[in-house]
Amino acid sequence: MGQKLNISRDDVARALRIYWKHAWPVQMGVCPALPDWSDLTLNEILKRFADESETSTHACKRFVLRIGNYLYPHMKFAVEQCVCDGDFYFLADC
């Protein structure tokens, strides 16, 4: 990726676990397996996401994983770069 990220592999794993908890509530009775990326680096994890980054000179990075939820199968978990200061954050996006 060529740039230093202000997030770690553990940050991505924690955010994904939080998303999973809300996307697939236990009472719904069905839940896909949460990916186990414990042996992967952050760059290896992000390579498993779709890169939806813009390509202009000052564009922000955006990596998405279409993992759905119990109501909407196309919901995406995203790691996205903030326009203002370049920090990364997590979001759910349809």
What pLDDT score was predicted for residue 32? 82
Indicate the helix (H) or strand (E) that contains 55: none
Sequence-distant (6+) residues with CB within 8 A of 11 are: none
Domain boundaries, the chain: 9-24+39-93
Q: What is the pTM of this model?
A: 0.81
What pLDDT score was predicted for residue 3? 60
> Judging by DSSP bridges, how do beta strands 76-81 and 62-66 pair with one another?
antiparallel
Are 51 and 68 within 8 A, CB to CB? no
Q: What is the pLDDT of residues 9-62, one digit of tens each?
A: 999 999 999 999 888 887 877 778 888 888 999 999 999 999 998 776 677 889
Tell whether the model's pLDDT for residue 2 goes beyond 60.
Answer: no
Query: Tokens 């196309």 map to which residue?
Result: 74
Query: Tokens 């999973």 map to which residue?
Result: 20
Q: What is the pLDDT of residues 26-35, one digit of tens each?
A: 787 777 888 8
